[in-house]
Amino acid sequence: MFEKDELEKWLVNVSKFVSKPVAIYLIGGCAMSFKGYKAATKDIDIVMLSKADFDVINSAINEAGYKQETDLEDEFYLTALAVYVKGDSRIDIFLKKVGKMLAFSPKMAERATIYDKFGNLTVALASNEDIFLFKSMTPRPEDIKDCELLIQTGLEWNAIFDEILEQSKANDKWFFWTFEKVCIIENETKIPIPIKPKLLELVKKHWKHRPTDFMSNVEELDNHLPKKYQKDVLKNSKEKT
């Protein structure tokens, strides 16, 4: 686990080997720790905006004594550009897109705030809204808890909704995924999510294009979908079994 002081020591140590000006974006629990929302985090999740910048950081991390992990089993981490492990802690670096899912968009970069500069290394923290989006992609119970913490900070829900819309313009219709995760978060936290009605309207409008496993892992469907849509979800679930 990395506590805030340890995270900062790690950044200072790596920065000694950063050969030219580079910016990194922290998007997960590490960003929440620097913002004071969590005491510690197991992972350091970093997004780089260019392969050239990654090459600089990769060299610096290796020179700082961390070795790149190649024996990975979790499919999510196989999508990382590089993973470094030390004890029970890990550093994951992604290039623009995280887990072959959401992209770290130009708007996300604009919303990020600079935490500090360590020599040539500039460290920026993703906005609470964007951390929520990335946290909502995974099924890990600790990420649901983190989403609850972020909700309590007072999120700008319109910014989240606009980002979902923007990233749904391509083939991946992210509102399906986000709606499902919002339902799970509501079930777990009992906190109503303000953008859920707007997401539901998008889901209904594009119902024919839903993923085959859409809502299959969501309990209490009565709280989330009208009856006529529930029938399709239950039918798909039966066909899979």
pLDDT(101) > 90: no
- The model's confidence at residue 239, banded by pLDDT at 50, 70 and 90, is low
The pLDDT of residue 79: 61
Residue 159: other Cβ atoms inside 10 A:
17
* Mean pLDDT in residue range 107-128: 97
Residue by residue, DSSP assigns 135-177 as HTTS--HHHHHHHHHHHTTT--HHHHHHHHHHHTSSSS-HHHH
The pLDDT tens digits of the residues spanning 11-41 come to 999 999 999 999 999 999 999 999 999 988 8
pLDDT(2) > 50: yes
The pLDDT tens digits of the residues spanning 123-170 come to 999 999 999 999 888 767 888 899 999 999 999 999 999 999 999 987
Please, what is the Cα angle at 107 between 101 and 112, to 5 degrees?
Answer: 95
The pLDDT tens digits of the residues spanning 158-214 come to 999 999 999 998 777 889 999 999 999 999 999 999 999 999 999 999 999 999 999
**Plot region of 98 (φ>0 → left; ψ -120 to 50 → alpha; else → beta):** beta
pLDDT(73) > 70: no
